[in-house]
Structure 1
C-alpha cells in the first residue's frame, strides 16, 4: 500500500528458514543503509521479537531511524519478560505504532511515550460487504493453526451446534504452525465431523470463500486486534470471538459482534444459536461492524502514515 503512495519500499523476508530469514533482513539493512530513510519493523511477542531487536540494533549501529509496528496479543508479556531488550528496541525507536488503544495503553504505561495509534488498514474494495438476511450455522475460521489460537475450540463449537443443526459446517483456513492442524483432524475424525481444511489461502481467495458462510469465529486465547477479524467485519460475516486482549477494543459486545469467555465452546455455540434464531439482530451486528471498519480503510489510515513517515 505504501508503494502505491509513491514510497520506494524494499522488503525482507519471506523465507521459512528462521536463520536465513534473519540473515536476509540484516543483510538488507547493511546493503541499503545509505539510501534508506526509515526501517519499518513488524514486531511480535514470540520468537520474532528477537528478530525485531536485532534489526533495531543494526539500525542503531548505522544511525538509521526505525519504527516498530506492534502485533500480537503476547507483546505485553514480552515487555515484562525482556525488559532490557524492550527498552532498547522500543525506547530508541523513532515511534512505535500500535494498531489499537489496547497496546497503546500498555506501552504508555511502561513508559514508552513514543507510541502512536494507527489502525491496521485494509483495502475495503477487496472485502465487499455481503448483506445476509438468513443466518445459518455455516462457520468460517481463519488463522494460523497454533495452540495460542485454540483452533480445537472451533471444532468443539461445531460439535455442539450439530446437536440442533445437523447440517452445520465449518471451514478452517490457515497454515499449520506447531502440529495443531493434525490435532484438529484427529478430533474431526473421532467425532465424525466433516470439516474443510483449506490450508493457507491468499486474502482474495478467502474473501471470495466467505460468501458461502455466515459466521466468523475467533477462538484465540491471546490476541491484539487481528486483521482477519477486521476483514471478516468488512465482509458482512457475523463475528463471534473470545473476549481476550484487544478484542473488546475492536468489538463492542452485542453491538457489532459477540464476545464470549476464553476457551468456552458452549457460550460461543449458544451465541451463534441466538443469532440464528434472531436474524434481525445478526443483521444489525454485521451492519454496525461494517460501519466501524470503514475507519480502517487505507484511504483514511494513509494520512496518519504519511504524517509519521514525513516527520
Structure 2
C-alpha cells in the first residue's frame, strides 16, 4: 500500500465537528495505507507553514498528497501546498469539499488553474461538484462521502407533533437563523412544533441565533457539539431534519439523517438536488424561504404516509454510500 500525506484541518477541538481528514484518514489506515497528517496548528499562518514544512520533510517517503480543498480562505492552503508539491514532483490529489468552489473558479481562474490543472486527479464527493469542475475543463473522479451504514439504525418516526432537528456548525453560510424563523412560522399557525439545533460555534452565528429565538419568543434547544453517537440517539425523538444552508456540496449530516430515517427538507442549493431527489427521497425548497419550509413541513406532517415513503427511499439511496461500497474506489485510486 502507498504512503499518503493528508493535508487538511487536523485540529482536535472539543467544540468543532469532526473533519473529513479524521474520517477518511482513519478508514484508509484501517485498510492498510500509511498516513501522515497536517496540520494541527490553530494559528492560520503557523498552520500554513506547518503544512508546507511537513510536505518538505516527508517528500522522500510520501507517494501521494491528499489536499482537502475548500472555497474560503482555506483555498490558499491548497494553493500553497499544491505548488510546493509541483516543485518537488510529488503527485497531489485535491478533494473538492467547498460547496461554493464554483465561485472560486470564476473569480480566480488563474489561481484555480495552478491548483487544479497539474493535479494527479481531482476527487469530487458529489456529482454536482464533478459537473461543476468538468464544465470549467477540469475532469474529476466522483467518490461520494461515505458512512458506515451498520452504525445507523433505521427508525421511522411518529408524527404526533412537528419535531425539527438541525445539525451543522453555527456559520452564516448554513443560515441557522432560518431554522428559528421556520419554528416561529409553524407555531404562529397553531402547530405543536419544537426545534433542536446541534453543532458548535463557528463565526459568531450562535449568539445571533440565540438572540433571534428570544426576540421571536420561541424556545429552541441548543445542545452544542455532540458526538455522532449522541446526536444519532437524539434523532430518535425527532421526525424532520431541516437543512437551511445558502451553499452546499454533499453534507454528511444530511446523508446521516437519511440513513437514520428522518425525512429531509432542504434548500435547493449547490449539490443538494444531486443528493436529494425532490419529493421522492426528500424535499427541496428555495433558499431563504421560510414560507416554503413551513408549507412543506405542514404538508408532510399532515400526510405521514408521504413522509414515511420519503424516509424509506432515502435510506435505500444512502446505502450506496456505505464505506464497504465506496472504499474500493479509494483503493483503486491510491494503489
TM-score by length of 2: 0.89
Q: 2:218 aligns with which of 187, 193, 196?
A: 193
Matched, 1:237 2:262: yes
Q: 1:17 aligns with which of 43, 51, 58?
A: 43
TM superposition shift of 1:165: 4.8
TM superposition shift of 1:84: 1.2
Give 1:31's aligned residue. 57
TM superposition shift of 1:306: 0.7
Which secondary structure does the structure 1 equivalent of 2:82 belong to? helix
Q: 1:204 aligns with which of 229, 244, 253?
A: 229
Give 2:155's aligned residue. 130
CA contact (8 A) 2:263 2:282 kept: yes
Matched, 1:172 2:207: no
Which secondary structure does the structure 2 equivalent of 1:184 belong to? helix
Q: 2:127 aligns with which of 84, 95, 101?
A: 101
Q: 1:144 aligns with which of 125, 148, 169?
A: 169
Deviation larger for 78-87 or 5-14: 5-14
Aligned-residue CA RMSD (Å) = 1.4
CA contact (8 A) 2:161 2:192 kept: no
CA contact (8 A) 2:48 2:77 kept: yes
Which secondary structure does the structure 1 equivalent of 2:66 belong to? strand
TM superposition shift of 1:136: 3.0
Q: Distance in 1 between matches of 2:184 and 2:42?
A: 34
Give 2:105's aligned residue. 79
Matched, 1:264 2:262: no
Q: Distance in 2 between matches of 1:135 and 1:120?
A: 33
- Deviations for 1:108-132, whole angstroms, at most 9, x for unmatched residues? 111112x111111111123221122
Deviation larger for 16-25 or 215-224: 16-25
CA contact (8 A) 2:123 2:142 kept: yes
Give 2:4's aligned residue. none
Q: Distance in 2 between matches of 1:27 and 1:70?
A: 23
Give 1:224's aligned residue. 249
Task: Structure 2 unaligned segments of length 5 or more: list them.
Answer: 1-26
CA contact (8 A) 1:222 1:244 kept: yes
- Deviations for 1:7-34, whole angstroms, at most 9, x for unmatched residues? 1111222443222222222222122111
Task: Structure 1 unaligned segments of length 5 or more: list them.
Answer: none
1:262–1:172 distance in 2 versus 1, CA, 3 Å? same
CA contact (8 A) 1:135 1:282 kept: no
TM superposition shift of 1:212: 1.7
Which secondary structure does the structure 2 equivalent of 1:253 belong to? coil
1:153–1:56 distance in 2 versus 1, CA, 3 Å? same
Which secondary structure does the structure 2 equivalent of 1:34 belong to? coil
TM superposition shift of 1:135: 5.9
Q: Distance in 2 between matches of 1:182 and 1:243?
A: 26
TM superposition shift of 1:171: 1.1
Matched, 1:249 2:274: yes
Deviation larger for 7-16 or 301-310: 7-16
TM-score by length of 1: 0.96
CA contact (8 A) 1:122 1:297 kept: yes
TM superposition shift of 1:133: 4.2
TM superposition shift of 1:204: 2.4
CA contact (8 A) 2:68 2:78 kept: yes
Matched, 1:61 2:79: no
- Deviations for 1:235-284, whole angstroms, at most 9, x for unmatched residues? 11110000111111100110000000110011101111111111111000
Q: 1:215 aligns with which of 219, 240, 263?
A: 240
Q: Distance in 2 between matches of 1:126 and 1:21?
A: 33
Which secondary structure does the structure 2 equivalent of 1:2 belong to? helix
